Structure 1
Amino acid sequence: MELPVIDLAPYLEICSDELDSHIKSMCLEVSRTLRETGALLVKDPRCTAEDNDKFIDMMEKYFQQPEEFKRLQERPHLHYQVGVTPEGVEVPRSLVDEEMKEKLKAMPKEYQPSSPSGPDPKWRYMWRVGPRPKITCFKELNSEPVIPEGFPEWKCTMDSWGYKMISAVESVAEMAAIGFGLSKDAFTSLMQQGPHLLAPTGSDLRRYGKEGTVFAGYHYDLNFLTIHGRSRFPGLSIWLRNGLKMEVKVPVGCLLIQAGKQIEWLTAGECMAGMHEVVVTNRTTDAIKQALEQNCSLWRVSSTLFAHIASDAVLKPLGHFSDSSLASKYPPICAGEYVEQELAVINLKGNKGA
């Protein structure tokens, strides 16, 4: 099975709130695919392959810097929500969540995720995208960005790619809302001034390029929707709603969108957060050989952006989802409070297993 590719261009061209049958069917396809697979491939004319390449080129250059240089951008007191997170810090959910461990044991062997031996051996850089609220109860989640020295193009490149990907997420969020039978702005109105994070990861394939190495252990994303540009090295696998595991192939010029925990909350579980992992596969090792032959970087960069619901907004089932038999599993909670709880579990708040 392959994920369908939704071309956003026709939706972006509509000039009124009147949707024709083709656009309505596109919106239904978006909501159906997110419901069934937790993931979606899109083409957005505002986000080009050249934009993605420019961004990855810069991040490869950054991750290749010495460790002591990168650690200057580390901000553990801000829950690593800005600046760099070194390798060996983030703990995969599947290592610390007892309920998840039991579910994994019950899976058929061929669909079970890889077993990480400890924290993820990946670096990550967190960059804030978009305006932040002047008054908030969650200051650590809305801190000022960190800019490394020696990268004069940093802010422009990060903001340019970040804003473009946020625009794509907002369009998909509108289409999903329509497809789910909600108002067009049901999700996007809650995203305003959210703590959106452009959060590229860097994995050193020269050191960790052995097949089977787990870069990101089995987990879900705690945010609303996650969007990725195409990586130069494969390795991402997702689990569909029916439990099947699927390696994701992102075509050139396309973006991958994944459902996070916040959209699960807002739809009372109609759209579940998508489970996924990043592991060195035989396709990854083939790409490593090719990169070596062409003298290219051996850092695997993911151009990931986490789109969030605003920290002070309340997560609760929206519209008709509040009548769902599962709505009680998703009680009202401030999005920022929920995020802080999740960060504690995966060791980004200095509190393992809380």
Structure 2
Amino acid sequence: MPDAAMDLPVVDLAPYIEISTKNDGGFLPIEVRDLCLQVSRSLRETGALLVKDPRCSTEDNDRFLDMMERYFEMPDEFKRKQERPELHYQVGVTPEGVEVPRSLIDSFLQQKIKMMSPDSQPSIPTRKDPKWRYMWRVGSRPKSTRFKELNAEPVIPEGFPEWKETMDSWGSKMISSIEVAAEMAAVGFNLPKDSFTSLMKQGPHLLGPTGSNLQRHGFEGTVFAGYHYDLNFLTIHGRSRFPGLNIWLRNGQKVEVKVPVGCLLIQSGKQLEWLTGGECLAGMHEVVVTDRTLNSIEIARQQNHSLWRVSSTLFAHIASDVVLQPLGHFAEAPNASRYPALYAGEYVEQELSAINLKGSKTVHLG
């Protein structure tokens, strides 16, 4: 079992937000610079960070979760109308049984798991992920791009008049949190403050909530999302109503996530790893039904609440046509040569193919 406590700092973004609205970032008070160092240190040493953003309220998250629970409770044949496999499932719904857990196909990860201590090992999935996911683009799209499938128009299900406003509102608020954290990380890394955010402009950012049917799959040990990293720049999670997310810190420690009320969890993705020449490693994580999940299922049953576990997750990306390569002094990092220059969109397509979301590769599993 993972450790009960999550030893991650909670960084209040408010002081940086307040300062940045008053000036162009030329001068930062020492206490704000210390917060920036805390952000960069946490991403480098643990791959994760808890933040508090006064612009992202618990009410916003609850409104989003309420709507997504109603959507995932709809019949499968209704949800499949929003399926877009020809667009690599990068907009609309991805049904359960489509996405392949990285740990089932990646021999490097499999070796890594074997070398872990038994109490740090992830749960090993035996099939494709039994979770649904909805992908919703957040923000403006580029007028021209080499990667049209990664920048397609959003899909809106019928019968949800509040859909677009709810998705855009919550998505844009979480993107704003990511942008502030990215600026603070850049300052902490002794880079120009817009080093990351300038590359994020018109990126294919995705609000990507998952829906896991606990009525059908709510048995201890069920793996909804097998051990994996995220292919994007930074991932941000609001609170879910059911526990089950485990993350691995850089030291190999397995930690059960407990996001405090009013906080958001940020994890480093593979694009950040690329831009820092491997100084920040992409955070590994999984979603599994635990004994705490079972307790929450029982409480939800007693209170007649939804038994769909919805994640409040947003994937922030580097723009598809930007060339990924180590930035500034990170070009001199010891492992920088492992991160050759390539388009962000090209990298994303390679990853999507590997996990069975891009049609050029079919993976047959149970």
Q: TM-score, normalised by structure 2?
A: 0.96
* Aligned equivalent of 1:272: 281
Query: In structure 2, how many angstroms separate the alpha carbons of the residues matched to 1:52 and 1:291?
Result: 18
* Aligned equivalent of 2:3: none
1:146-176: per-residue Cα shift (whole Å, max 9, x none)? 0000000000000000000000000000000
* Aligned equivalent of 1:198: 207
Q: Secondary structure at the match of 2:60?
A: helix
1:180 maps to 2:180? no
Query: In structure 2, how many angstroms separate the alpha carbons of the residues matched to 1:24 and 1:270?
Result: 20
Query: In structure 2, how many angstroms separate the alpha carbons of the residues matched to 1:228 and 1:99?
Result: 27
Give 1:299's match in structure 2, choosing from 282, 290, 308: 308
Query: In structure 1, how many angstroms separate the alpha carbons of the residues matched to 2:110 and 2:297?
Result: 32
Q: CA offset at residue 4 of structure 1? A: 1.3
1:310 maps to 2:315? no
1:110 maps to 2:115? no
Q: CA offset at residue 37 of structure 1? A: 1.1
Q: CA offset at residue 2 of structure 1? A: 2.1
1:97-122: per-residue Cα shift (whole Å, max 9, x none)? 11111111111111110010110000
Q: Secondary structure at the match of 1:292?
A: helix
1:111-126 mapped onto 2 (5 Å cutoff): 111-126=120-135
Query: In structure 1, how many angstroms separate the alpha carbons of the residues matched to 2:217 and 2:49?
Result: 29
* Aligned equivalent of 1:12: 17
Query: In structure 1, how many angstroms separate the alpha carbons of the residues matched to 2:56 and 2:262?
Result: 8
The runs of 5 or more residues in structure 1 that have no matched partner are none
Q: CA offset at residue 10 of structure 1? A: 0.8
Look up the equivalent residue of 1:328 and give its one-letter code: S
* Aligned equivalent of 1:129: 138
1:320 maps to 2:325? no
Q: Secondary structure at the match of 1:227?
A: strand
Q: CA offset at residue 330 of structure 1? A: 0.4
Query: In structure 2, how many angstroms separate the alpha carbons of the residues matched to 1:325 and 1:229?
Result: 34
Look up the equivalent residue of 1:205 and give its one-letter code: L
Query: In structure 2, how many angstroms separate the alpha carbons of the residues matched to 1:289 and 1:99?
Result: 38
Q: Secondary structure at the match of 2:235?
A: strand
Query: In structure 2, how many angstroms separate the alpha carbons of the residues matched to 1:216 and 1:287?
Result: 19
Query: In structure 2, how many angstroms separate the alpha carbons of the residues matched to 1:97 and 1:302?
Result: 25
Query: In structure 2, how many angstroms separate the alpha carbons of the residues matched to 1:67 and 1:236?
Result: 25
Give 2:351's match in structure 1, choosing from 333, 342, 350: 342
1:3-42 mapped onto 2 (5 Å cutoff): 3-14=8-19, 15-16=22-23, 17=25, 18-42=27-51
* Aligned equivalent of 2:164: 155
1:296-315: per-residue Cα shift (whole Å, max 9, x none)? 00000001100000000010
Look up the equivalent residue of 1:102 and give its one-letter code: Q
Query: In structure 2, how many angstroms separate the alpha carbons of the residues matched to 1:204 and 1:19?
Result: 47
Look up the equivalent residue of 2:9 and give its one-letter code: P
* Aligned equivalent of 1:75: 84
1:73-117: per-residue Cα shift (whole Å, max 9, x none)? 000000000000000000010000111111111111111100101
Over aligned residues, Cα RMSD in angstroms? Answer: 1.0
Query: In structure 2, how many angstroms separate the alpha carbons of the residues matched to 1:220 and 1:64?
Result: 28
* Aligned equivalent of 2:175: 166
Identity percentage over the alignment?
73
Q: Secondary structure at the match of 2:320?
A: coil
The runs of 5 or more residues in structure 2 that have no matched partner are 1-5
Q: TM-score, normalised by structure 1?
A: 0.99
Q: Secondary structure at the match of 1:13?
A: helix
* Aligned equivalent of 1:209: 218
Contact 2:228 2:285 in 1 (8 A): yes
Query: In structure 2, how many angstroms separate the alpha carbons of the residues matched to 1:299 and 1:2?
Result: 28
1:9-38: per-residue Cα shift (whole Å, max 9, x none)? 111100222101000000000011111111
